Amino acid sequence: MSENAITTVTVALAGRSYDIHIGQRLLTDGDRIASLVRGQQAIVVSNHTVAPLYLDALLVALGRIDCQVHVLPDGEQYKTLAHVADILDTALASNAARDVTFIALGGGVVGDMTGFAAACFMRGVAFVQVPTTLLAQVDSSVGGKTGVNHPRGKNLIGAFHQPVGVVIDTDTLSTLDPREYSAGLAEVIKYGAIMDLAFFEWLEANIEALRARDPEAVAYAVAQCCTLKARVVADDETEQGNRALLNFGHTFGHAVEAVTGYTTWLHGEAVAIGMRLAAQMSAIDADEQQRLVALLAAAGLPVAAPGLDADALLKAMGHDKKVLAGRIRLILLRSLGDAFVTDAYDDARLTQTLAAVGG
């Protein structure tokens, strides 16, 4: 891929299909984002970390459009219904009408909250994702999952609401905190682990280039993840079936986040720990388990959370959305690159696995 190449991936959803554009300098690429705005008015949502870096560029790119800006505090702890209500207040105070477009400029938290605000505003208006973190670029900005957290668990309040477009400027990763960047790599590795052995092997071979943020390696990985996710979402938009595979590591990871009050680990870090636990629960070779752990470690990710209480983790898993009729369903591996959903597992093994979360 040359430096100026733009990759476009389509999420095929009949009347709600949309394109993901991936490349460098897309934030300021002429009319690219402005052309996605319906009507003449936009509500641009960002946070206090991202806004100073990229908001001005975005507003210049949106030139002709009447923009109202809403800047959120930065952090998962602000991903609440009350802060979404604030976004809605801003939109209503600016006399936004049904043809307004919401634009999310930031990471997964900004995207989830902006998308949910757009879903609830006048029963649903258009929104555009402009993700600026690796995690948001490869995962949360694609697929229409929006929402907020609740004291009882993550993302328990929300909606499926697809964006009208996603514009991924990989240059924005240059300012990303290294720990946040590694957290994004957890989701990248997830795609390989659950559905694409060749990509997993590519990651094993290129993890150093990725960590060094080599533009070509980054662009390839982001495009590959979006392609895989678009395929899953097109097959199962509202997670009645295979979309659940994307939650590999997340059931465990959410539990780790919940019992640590969402402050110790970044989401991607918790998912990395969760993937290690899920691999340990899976009937795969020790060698394959080890390859996953090694790749996570090479990406700068934790694979253990010392000192956590296994009972508390189990209880926290009871509040995960993936529970049906009282039985926790898990996403496990048949082998690297091949995941499945199951509730047919050994309870003793689950308890044992959770007890080993520390190392």
Catalytically active residues, by annotation: 123, 145, 187, 229, 239, 243, 247, 250, 254, 267
Q: Does 93 bind a second copy (CB under 8 A)?
A: yes
Retrieve residue 90's tokens.
């801003």
Taking the least distance from each CB to a second copy, the nearer of 153 and 268 is 153
Residues 6+ apart with CB under 8 A from 89: none
Task: Give the residue carrying structure tokens 């044992």.
Answer: 352
- C-alpha distances (whole Å) from 259 to each of 3, 68, 209, 321 are 43, 37, 34, 16
Task: Give the residue carrying structure tokens 């465990």.
Answer: 252
> Footprint of a second copy on residues 300-359 (CB under 8 A)?
318-319, 321-326
Output phi, psi for 144, to 5 deg. Answer: 80, 10
Retrieve residue 173's tokens.
């990763």
Q: Does 99 bind a second copy (CB under 8 A)?
A: yes
> Footprint of a second copy on residues 112-131 (CB under 8 A)?
119-124
Nearest distance in Å: CB 38, a second copy: 10
Q: Judge whether 48 and 71 are in contact, CB under 8 Å.
A: yes
Q: Does 145 bind a second copy (CB under 8 A)?
A: yes
Choosing from 1, 25, 34, 39, the residue that interacts with a second copy (CB under 8 A) is 39
Task: Give the residue carrying structure tokens 């340990």.
Answer: 280
CA dihedral 197, 200, 206, 207 (to 10 degrees): -170
Q: Does 88 bind a second copy (CB under 8 A)?
A: yes
Nearest distance in Å: CB 245, a second copy: 16
Nearest distance in Å: CB 151, a second copy: 8
Q: Does 157 bind a second copy (CB under 8 A)?
A: yes
Question: How distant is the alpha carbon of residue 315 from its chain centre?
Answer: 24
Q: Does 163 bind a second copy (CB under 8 A)?
A: no
Closest by CA position to 51, among listed 105, 95, 90? 105
State the Cα–Cα distance between residues 116 and 110, nearest whole angstrom. 10
Q: Does 83 bind a second copy (CB under 8 A)?
A: no
Kindly state the greatest CA–CA separation across the chain.
61
Residue span binding a second copy (CB under 8 A) among the ranges 84-92, 173-181, 272-280, 295-303 = 84-92
Taking the least distance from each CB to a second copy, the nearer of 137 and 149 is 149
Q: Judge whether 295 and 204 are in contact, CB under 8 Å.
A: yes
Choosing from 8, 17, 40, 174, the residue that interacts with a second copy (CB under 8 A) is 40
Nearest distance in Å: CB 61, a second copy: 22
Q: Does 233 bind a second copy (CB under 8 A)?
A: no
> Footprint of a second copy on residues 246-285 (CB under 8 A)?
none
Taking the least distance from each CB to a second copy, the nearer of 125 and 295 is 125
Q: Does 81 bind a second copy (CB under 8 A)?
A: yes
* Strand partners of residue 145: 160
Taking the least distance from each CB to a second copy, the nearer of 241 and 318 is 318
Q: Judge whether 233 and 143 are in contact, CB under 8 Å.
A: yes
State the Cα–Cα distance between residues 34 and 40, nearest whole angstrom. 10
Residue span binding a second copy (CB under 8 A) among the ranges 19-27, 156-164, 209-217, 222-230 = 156-164
Q: Judge whether 322 and 328 are in contact, CB under 8 Å.
A: yes
* Residues within the interface to a second copy (CB under 8 A): 39-40, 81, 85, 88-89, 92-93, 95, 97-99, 119-124, 145-147, 150, 152-153, 155-160, 238, 318-319, 321-326
